Amino acid sequence: MLDALLTNAAMLVGIVLILWVISLQLNDVSFVDSFWGAGMGLMAVASYVQSPSRGLVGMLLLVMTAAWGFRLGLYLLRRWLRHGEDPRYERILRKDREKGRFTIAALTKVWLGQAVLLFLVSSPAQVGILAAGAMDAIAPLAWAGFALYAVGIFFEWTGDWQLAQFKADPKNEGTILDTGLWRYTRHPNYFGDACVWWGIWLVTASVGWEWALYTVAGPIFLTFTLTKWSGAALLEAGMKKKRGDAYADYVRRTSPFFPRPPKG
């Protein structure tokens, strides 16, 4: 397993260095977001290919990770192609651009940092696939994990679709999406992400609790970053500046993460 994980890490670093060079030519690193999901899908595929024996549990983990990762990667790539540089990354690298440090900052602050976190978050899928080997029996815990994963997929895919439809209507310019899943949580897509990876982790736990213990940092960190660090926190800071009192009222009424009926 260690050899396979090291191979995955080397492949990830190689791809990241290529993408870093491309980002320098474009003077824009924000397409890194599309690699976040796609890269995790690639880690799952690489783990499955290297597994000496392959059973249904490993296949289940592969399909769960690849379906989530490649869909998210394509969705975010299309968004970047339509809208260009993400303001979050422009703010992160603004001072480095002004001081002529964009090249090294893009590598260290964005690409290599993302690679480390991507590898960590996707560790339940990588380790689970390699540890499962020829295991064919899908335990009740694995089915529970798949059920949680399905809830996450519903919230993420539906939330993204509702947001895309909302933004495509010119009549919604300057307003706030507070219908559909967005009525019950301010971040249905982030809630869905967390459910997806806790679900994958549960399937890995069904292979053996020692593997779950080794990889639990992945979903813990993802949940933290979605709620407190680079996910909801950064997004909401920008929305408060753009929408003012209207967004403050939405925040007052709507759950920040876990879905629940709105207040008032």
Residue spans of the domains in the chain: they are: 1-134, 138-264
In tens, the pLDDT along 99-141 reads: 999 999 999 999 999 999 999 999 999 999 999 988 999 999 9
Task: Using alpha carbons, select from 15, 37, 5, 252 the residue that is nearest to residue 112.
Answer: 15
pLDDT band at 88, cuts 50/70/90? confident
Q: Say if CB 190 and CB 232 are below 8 A apart.
A: yes
213-260 pLDDT tens trace: 999 999 999 999 998 877 677 677 777 777 778 888 888 999 989 999
What SS3 class is residue 259? Answer: coil
Cα separation, 53 vs 50, whole angstroms: 9
Task: State pTM to two decimals.
Answer: 0.92
Residue 30 in this model has a pLDDT that exceeds 70: yes
Alpha-carbon gap, residue 234 to 220, rounded angstroms: 19
